[in-house]
A = this chain, B = another copy of it.
Amino acid sequence: MEGIKVSFENEPYRDPDFIINHKAPFNAEPKPDVLVQSFITPTEKFYVRNHAPVPDICPTAYTLKIDGLVGQPLTLSLNDIKTKFEKVTITAHLQCAGNRRTAMSEYKKVKGVGWGIASLSNATWGGCRLRDVLLHAKIFSKESGANHAVFWGLDFGCPEDNGKPYGSSITVEKAMDIDGDVLLAYEMNGETINRDHGFPLRVVAPGIIGARSVKWLDKITISPHESESFFQRRDYKIFHNGVDWNNVEKYWDKTPSLQELSIQSAICVPAPNSALYLPFTITGYATSGGGRKIERVDVSLDGGETWDYAELLGEDKGVCTKYWGWTLFRYTITKLPQLEGKDSTKIKLVCRAWDLSSNTQPKDVKDIWNLRGVMNNCWHTVDVTILNQNKKSNL
């Protein structure tokens, strides 16, 4: 393919502080305490989820193809994308459906790249609306079968899909929703998008799982059907817990493909098994799908027996009509009655979020366990030891 090199020998530079979950293809997340240091995640700290080598695309040779159920198939240069369509900037988080998979695997082994609690990040994205491009291509009506916008990347070499590039789809309803804010993005955090995040052009489909925001976008086909990619039809589905590797084939078709993200939150500070003096502050993130506002984050100091409301920070929908960005939260603990007279006490911190639809997180990973380890959004628990400052100074 002209102007494109695909090889693991040609990977971009990465932040040395990343937690690397898989080297090739590269999959990495920032340390949790780094993740919540700012509302906008710096580009070099933004989690990276690749399925193949990062293509090295010559921007002047690059074209985007649009075909399928459209009246006017298009081939657009990067310059066309930048000049023919209105530029829009949105703030949105992206989150891998595999976020918190490692914790699911700890309950019972699942298959997939292990992720901690930081395979999500929040950025600003600049580009044109997918809607505008599809209108330009004279997209057919739903009655004519225009149901899905099918994306293919240029990252040839996905091992799960026999070396094909990564592919995925979203509904035309989402693609064409004036408030859906699906972008073809060429900027990230005010700069040209970098190679790891999809240079020169990627989909940013806010409010739905990161897997649908295809990077290094090669082609968009408007189709009556979902993408036929492995990643749409076989992966990124929540199978019920009776599905295993012996019977999964029976369930591929009857289990829906994931689209919107569910309600999620996690405690990023303090780290598990920390030893801390009072006062200390819990900091974390909360997110929901579909642009639904986070209404509340509850924090518990006793494993979920009693709760209090955390303070919500960084609620910001910017110019968007919906809440695509994440919400950071904090909660400060100044006293702990059970510490009195003791050297230390162990406590179990828990958080759970609620969105404007009163959806909240399930308690136990057991109840949402699934073969592929996706959408682990159970209560997030962090065990810490609180040390008695007075006792220490008495020594």
Contacts and interface: CB of A to CB of B under 8 A. Distances in A.
Interface of A: 173, 238, 240-242, 254-256, 258-263, 288-290, 292, 295-296, 298, 304, 306-309, 321, 354, 356-360, 362-364, 367-368, 375, 377
A242 B357 contact: no
B357 A368 contact: no
A321 B363 CA distance: 33
A321 to B, nearest CB: 7
A296 to B, nearest CB: 7
Contact of A260 (B256, B261, B357): B357
Nearest to A307: B240
A83 to B, nearest CB: 30
A58 to B, nearest CB: 39
A375 B362 contact: no
A312 to B, nearest CB: 11
Nearest to A254: B309
A88 to B, nearest CB: 19
A147 to B, nearest CB: 14
Given A304-B367, A363-B364, 7 more contacts: A240-B308, A256-B356, A260-B358, A288-B357, A289-B357, A290-B292, A358-B375
A168 B386 CA distance: 45
Contact of A242 (B256, B306, B321, B356): B306
A356 B288 CA distance: 12
Contact of A256 (B290, B296, B359): B296
A258 B359 CA distance: 11
A290 to B, nearest CB: 6
A356 B240 contact: no
A358 B262 contact: yes
A262 B359 contact: yes
Given A242-B306, A242-B308, A367-B304, A321 B360 contact: no
Contacts of A306: 241-242
Contacts of A375: 358
Contacts of A258: 358
Name which of A288, A356, A357 has the most chain B CB atoms within 10 A of its CB: A357
A130 to B, nearest CB: 18
Nearest to A238: B358
A290 B289 contact: no
Nearest to A289: B357
Contacts of A360: 262, 362, 368
A110 to B, nearest CB: 16
Contacts of A263: 359
Contacts of A255: 296, 309
A96 to B, nearest CB: 13
